[in-house]
Amino acid sequence: DGDRRKKIPVEFGALPDHLRNAVIAVEDRRFFDHAGIDWRGIGRAMLRDINEGEIVQGGSTITQQIIKNSFLTSDRTFDRKLKEAAMALILESRLSKEEIFTLYCNEVYLGQSGTFAIHGFGEAAQVYFDKNVGDLTLSEAAFLAGLIHAPNRYSMQRDMTRAVERRNLVLDAMVETGAITTESAESAKREQLVIKGRKAQNDYGASYFIDYAQRYIDQKYGAQEGRLAGRIYTSMDPRLQRAAYEAVTVQSVKLDKLFARPSRKGGEAPKVQAALVALDAHTGEVVAMVGGRDYAESQLNRATDARRQPGSTFKPFVYASALGGRSFTAASLLSDRPQTFSYDGGRAEYKPTNYHGGFSNKDVTLRDALARSLNIPAVELAMRVGLTNVADLAEECGLKRPASYPSMALGASEVTPLEIAAAYTAFANEGMALRPMPVKPAQATRQNGSADRRAATGARAFSPQVAYLMTNMMQTVVDAGTASKVRAMGLRGAIAGKTGTSNDGWFVGYTPRLVCAVWVGFDDNQDLKLKSSDSALLVWADFMKQALEYCPAYGGDEFARPSGIVTADIDPATGYLATPQCASTRSELFIAGTEPYGSCSCGMMEDDFTAETAYLDSLAPEAENTDYSKISLDICPESGLIANSNCPHSRRKTFDLGKEPLDTCRKDHSVDIDTASAEPPLLTPLVEGGSRPVSENREPLKNRRPEQPKKKQPPY
């Protein structure tokens, strides 16, 4: 329930006589004689209330207490008492006395066990005495009956003397009602009360999941309907939940030792926190969730409610946007050199650096840039693809729409671990991003008894081909990139993922069936000053090793490959098709139709260059002074992309070749334009003294290196 109550239901026949008699003696001596209202008790209570000048005694029967606890508030008003009395009469006409008494004994509040509320004598007998309710002694039964009036006040843990006094009062009341003899009462009073209750069972962080599931049910089905719907089955797998909790606990303790030094403000060293959430990539069901290291210490669910910058775990959405527009491939080249990016109409600038502070000062392919988590290429790619396009894709994947600034490409917007895990289902689920759900939809029943068979909702974020290419590129991250420690820790099979380092450590990875996101950091947002591969990735790997051992079906040897994917051997230094003369080659994947159309120039003879130059001169003999290192485009000032016919304020802007945007602006930033079929924009190389239009019926620019023209290919 919403107040975190735990109970063990018992039948009327399972309640021992001395427990029933104890409850009757102190709570409602005429329970089996009245019809729901004890007029004598009410008269006695009213006289005392009049003498005191306020309501100090209610005279409520057991039936009235059930009504108050289940349907009304605890406000001490005459209006509430009238409602309570009327409803008690109704309840008495519907249920037998045994049914009402059993209901009361299963629902009555009897104290706390950690963060859980103890409800009912079945649970209380286990918590306080580690016994079944039928095995309680007279002394123990009297103590439990005495707790009803004020469970926390008469708790043995808080004040043993007061608890013993209350037990003795109950025993005396039982003598007055004739339930026991004076000798039996005196013998029970001499019995020492000893808490033998078993230690609170470790729920392996499931309390965080329970809170999340309760909130989901209230939002999805309505708070009242969710509570009355009866039995609802959650999606949590206890084996994976335990694996998640143990991974978080073990690695957090190791990090604590690393940070075992006084904080800057004095006092104890800050305590590292962590969160983990795992989803079934094909259904969206949450199978494990840990929102922190200790629920009793902090009920903040960091998996669902703590928003932090995800760092480079956001980069795959930038790359997916580029691949989806077909302007880039995994072999396209980006610059890893210091750059300054202008935005907001040229009024602001952004100058990022790589995590390690250095630059390779060379061109790198998209695959290598992602594997090494290079920042400059990611920002350049986002600017050329269009910040609004990247933001659109992130939103379609279920993330809160990020602000369209260059820093967005590096994960400057805030997310929760649950949100980023759900967004990654798009990569593992053939482009369909699923919204997370913690219940089994086919088994959740509505109030009217009908089954609710709604599955997880989702949205098509990109094509299966883009999803597969991104997965393949993120496999390189795990096999040879920033997450290679995953392999060093012994995990095998098909695994893809991405590291992310901000002030915190992030890792989001997945197998063919299981997506898992891990966050590690401090609650006060101090800088962890650790790479994610030394923090979050360790938790992820620990969890996945156990998860795949428990549930091998979540793993696999390879990801399913859709149709429309082709392979070509390329020269990674140029991005072109490899030739026998290339120093190194590698096999690269492409969406059919986007593979490079030119071959690498390695080994090209001088006669070949002469023939190439003559061919180019024959195309444009009048443009001897053309500067093919520059390009001018009509740009939309709002989006920074190539203007379309709907952009009212487009203006011409000059770019270094290879730095120009390749995608077309969207009208009102919401109407998609099919860049593959749209009319190509006019490209104009700069010429001294003027410009010359170039044929609009040209192939899209791919992997251009104008300083070394390719054989039998015009520059545009």
| CB contact set of 631 (below 8 Å; sequence gap of 6+) | 654, 655, 656, 657, 660, 683, 684, 685, 686
How far, in Å, CA of 389 to CA of 670, rounded?
9
Report which residue type is found at 153.
R
Give the side-chain half-sphere CA count within 13 A for 14.
Answer: 15
Active site residue 584: no
DSSP assignment string, 546-585:
HHHHH-GGG--SSPPPPSSEEEEEE-TTT-SBP-TT-S--
How far, in Å, CA of 459 to CA of 449, rounded?
30
DSSP H or E stretch at residue 406: none
> Which position among 27, 123, 396, 419 bears the catalytic label?
27
What six digits make up the tokens of 48? Answer: 């005392």
Pair 70, 62: CB distance under 8 Å = no
Q: Quickly list H helices, 590-681.
A: 606-619
What six digits make up the tokens of 44? Answer: 């006695």
Cα–Cα distance list, 518 to 58, 280, 355, 381, 496 (Å): 52, 15, 20, 26, 14
Active site residue 312: yes
Cα–Cα distance list, 136 to 10, 105, 486, 524 (Å): 14, 15, 53, 48
Give the side-chain half-sphere CA count within 13 A for 322.
Answer: 32
Strand segments (E) across 282-411: 286-290, 333-335, 341-343, 348-350, 363-365
Pair 509, 496: CB distance under 8 Å = yes
Report which residue type is found at 423.
A
689: left (phi over 0), alpha (psi -120 to 50) or beta: left
Q: What share of the chain is helix, strand, coil (3-state, %, to 5)?
A: 40, 15, 45
> Which position among 113, 312, 502, 601 bears the catalytic label?
312
How far, in Å, CA of 413 to CA of 648, rounded?
30
Residue closest to 426 by CA, chosen among 398, 384, 388 = 398
How far, in Å, CA of 327 to CA of 30, rounded?
84
CA angle 534, 538, 544 (to 5 degrees): 155
| CB contact set of 389 (below 8 Å; sequence gap of 6+) | 321, 325, 641, 663, 666
What six digits make up the tokens of 487? Answer: 């392999």
How far, in Å, CA of 130 to CA of 116, rounded?
16
DSSP assignment string, 3-36:
T-EE-----GGGS-HHHHHHHHHHH-TTTTTSSS
How far, in Å, CA of 395 to CA of 461, rounded?
9
Which residues are part of the catalytic machinery?
Answer: 27, 312
